[in-house]
Structure 1
Amino acid sequence: MSKTTATPAAPDQSAKEEKQAFSSKDFHRTYARPTFVKPSHLIHKNVERAGEHDQFSTERKHPVFFVDLPSRNVSMTIGGLLPGQQTNRHRHTYETVLYVIEGKGWTEIEDERVEWEAGDAVYIPSWAWHRHQNLSDALPAKYIACENAPQLQNLGVALREEEGRDL
């Protein structure tokens, strides 16, 4: 077995510079070969035990648990719908892929209703109005949501709009 080691950062890169945003004056800092920079952590244990994200959960009207990993391009959350629960209509400039891990329900995307159950994956295109509904009055529904929100946030072009709040 070979051992993987971290490649040192380019000579003029420092930990401080890595956290700064790039501007046009930093063009020379685009290197021909990428370098490995060890992230702060590689695992988030017991995601749901860390607690739900209160502000986001209240706004969306369903429990949401953020997976805290240092990705700059994709995010992952665990979303839940309580029995009979329906979310607010909303839209955002980032794409979403949902993977349903338990329950049955539907997602309305613009004017199309897509029914789902455990084991299904649902694609929500960027800037499409959508909302989710748990069809069970007794059992919760749960899904994993993966989005390219961090990538667009880092580019300064991520937008999110909640019906009733932003209109």
Structure 2
Amino acid sequence: MSTSVTGTSSAAQADQKQFSSKDFHQTFARPVYVKPSHVIHKNVERAGEHNQFSTERKHPVFFVDLPSKNVSMTIGGLLPGQLTNRHRHTYETVLYVIEGKGWTEIEGERVEWQAGDAVYIPSWAWHRHQNTSDSEPAKYIACENAPQLQNLGVALREEEGRDL
């Protein structure tokens, strides 16, 4: 099978407690507050573009570095006229368009968007994005439940042209 698995690095896994059936007694009736390492990521775009992911996706991507174990957030950009690769993943995505206009194709259906719109991409739906302007960039915030599925070991991502 050629599907790539997006998982947690071994270093990150070493920091997390791995539970097994013998740890059932550690399930408590009340949640316990665990202070996160940090609650703010200032100047996200100044922290730098994620080069490997940006190159693969063919557009700039900036990860928001916060310690959520369930939700991720990235800032994506599309240059004028830019079209991304078709891809799909087992996690859901909600895009909020900050600037520009374009479309997202979801399972062959094209959805037009512009600044102020939100777009939902269901899990495992083939999709891609295009900026329809010849002169202005487009920018969006993408929120996904990828960390939740990665922590469960069930996050998959498939990129057309790479995995097929």
TM-score (norm 2): 0.90
1:21 deviates by: 1.8
Question: 2 CA distance for matches of 1:109 and 1:83?
Answer: 21
* 1:120 correspondence with 2:117: yes
Residue aligning to 2:17: 20
Match for residue 71 of structure 2 among 74, 77, 86: 74
1:18 deviates by: 7.2
Question: 2 CA distance for matches of 1:98 and 1:89?
Answer: 16
Question: 1 CA distance for matches of 2:163 and 2:20?
Answer: 31
Question: 1 CA distance for matches of 2:130 and 2:88?
Answer: 16
* 1:46 correspondence with 2:80: no
Structure 1 unpaired stretches of 5+ = 1-16
**Secondary structure of residue in 2 paired with 1:44:** coil
Question: 2 CA distance for matches of 1:57 and 1:126?
Answer: 21
1:111 deviates by: 1.3
Write the deviation string for residues 135-160 of structure 1: whole angstroms up to 9, x where unpaired: 01111000000000000000000000
Match for residue 108 of structure 2 among 108, 111, 125: 111
1:71 deviates by: 0.1
Residue aligning to 2:33: 36
TM-score (norm 1): 0.89
RMSD: 1.1
1:38 deviates by: 0.3
Write the deviation string for residues 85-116 of structure 1: whole angstroms up to 9, x where unpaired: 00000000000000000000000000100000
Percent identity over the alignment is 88
Residue aligning to 1:12: none
Q: Which one has the largest radius of gyration?
A: 1
* 1:93 correspondence with 2:90: yes
Question: 1 CA distance for matches of 2:66 and 2:58?
Answer: 24
**Secondary structure of residue in 1 paired with 2:68:** coil
Residue aligning to 1:55: 52
* 1:131 correspondence with 2:117: no
**Secondary structure of residue in 2 paired with 1:122:** strand
Write the deviation string for residues 34-65 of structure 1: whole angstroms up to 9, x where unpaired: 01010000000000000000000000000000
Question: 2 CA distance for matches of 1:95 and 1:19?
Answer: 24
Runs of 4+ in 1 over 2 A off after TM superposition: none
Instruction: Between the two structures, name the one with larger relative contact order (CA 8 Å, sep ≥ 6).
Output: 2
1:20 deviates by: 1.6
Residue aligning to 1:10: none
